[in-house]
Amino acid sequence: MKDVPLILVVDDESVNLTILSWILDEAGFGVLTAGSGPEARELAIRRQPDLILLDILMPGEDGYSVCRSLKQASATQDTPVIIISGLSGNAEKARAMALGAADFIMKPFSRQEILERVRLHLPPHSTPAL
């Protein structure tokens, strides 16, 4: 088992990557970042993160497609995926959950919400202390 839970953050907006990375790093998590779906899939398979935070709206391959691919791959099918998106409708949430997402966070998000949801979907023994 890893000493520190590793979180993969996927977003095409560098400001979102920076903010989420800072929140997670300050809370004691290891952080990987990816700016695209193909990069996210490659990192997820190679590094085996404990959880993935995934944006929906990205150029090229959107987060829905990435989530579907991750859930179909044996190496990543059990990795919790939390969708983070500015899309706030029930249809978007339902689609994400149908594709295997563990949770859905709407932008704008708070530090507290991110950490609570991440800790919720990680095994209790693997999360840093509050």
pLDDT tens for each residue of 21-33: 999 999 999 999 9
Please choose, from the candidates 21, 32, 41, the residue with its C-alpha nearest in 3D space to the C-alpha of residue 111.
21
Give the model confidence (pLDDT) of 71-110 as tens digits: 999 999 999 999 998 877 788 889 999 999 999 999 899 9
The answer to pTM > 0.85 is yes
34-77: pLDDT as tens digits: 999 999 999 999 999 999 999 999 988 999 999 999 999 999 99
Superfamily for domain range 6-110: Response regulator (3.40.50.2300)
How deeply is 88 buried, as exposed, middle or buried, from its count of CB atoms within 10 A (0-12, 13-18, 19+)?
exposed
What are the b/e assignments for 91-113, b being 16+ CB within 10 Å?
Answer: ebbebbeebbbbbbbeeebeeee
Using alpha carbons only, give the angle 2, 45, 37 rounded to the nearest 5 degrees.
120
Residue 1 pLDDT exceeds 60: no
Which residue ranges make up each domain of the chain? 6-110
